[in-house]
Amino acid sequence: MHLSDRERRILAEIEMALRRSDRAFARRIDALNAAAARRKRVYRFGPGTSRKEIAGLLAAVAVLTLLMVFLVVFTGHASSPAPSGPSPAPSQPVTVQAPLHEAGGR
């Protein structure tokens, strides 16, 4: 909230008058302001993100990573067929013939 210079001056005068007239009230206000300053944290990751939320996110990432590794390791071998022994040799040799060209061709 932005205040004009005049409004700030008026509020300062009111505060000074209250502090002079009621010392107990001034001590309570000072204690509240000090407690609020102690509670104020500097947020490293942004406002509203706690350390527990960050730890939970990291734990979820770790669990999902382990699950993916598990699936790749244990289901990856099942999808490729294992050799069932030596492959049989062909019974007859395979020959490849080249196409014949006509003798008088272009």
* pLDDT digit string (tens) for the chain, length 106 residues: 678 899 989 988 888 888 889 888 888 888 888 887 777 665 555 666 778 888 999 999 999 999 999 988 888 655 555 556 666 666 666 676 767 666 555 5
The answer to whether 43 touches 49, Cβ cutoff 8 Å, is yes
Amino acid at 58: L
The answer to whether 26 touches 18, Cβ cutoff 8 Å, is yes
CA distance 84 to 105: 51
pLDDT given for residue 30 in this prediction:
85
Helix 23-39 crosses helix 5-21 at what angle (to 10 degrees)? 120
Predicted TM-score (pTM) of this structure: 0.32
The answer to whether 3 touches 11, Cβ cutoff 8 Å, is yes
Q: Tokens at residue 39, please?
A: 């509670």
Unique residue bearing structure tokens 């492959």: 87
CA distance 92 to 43: 78
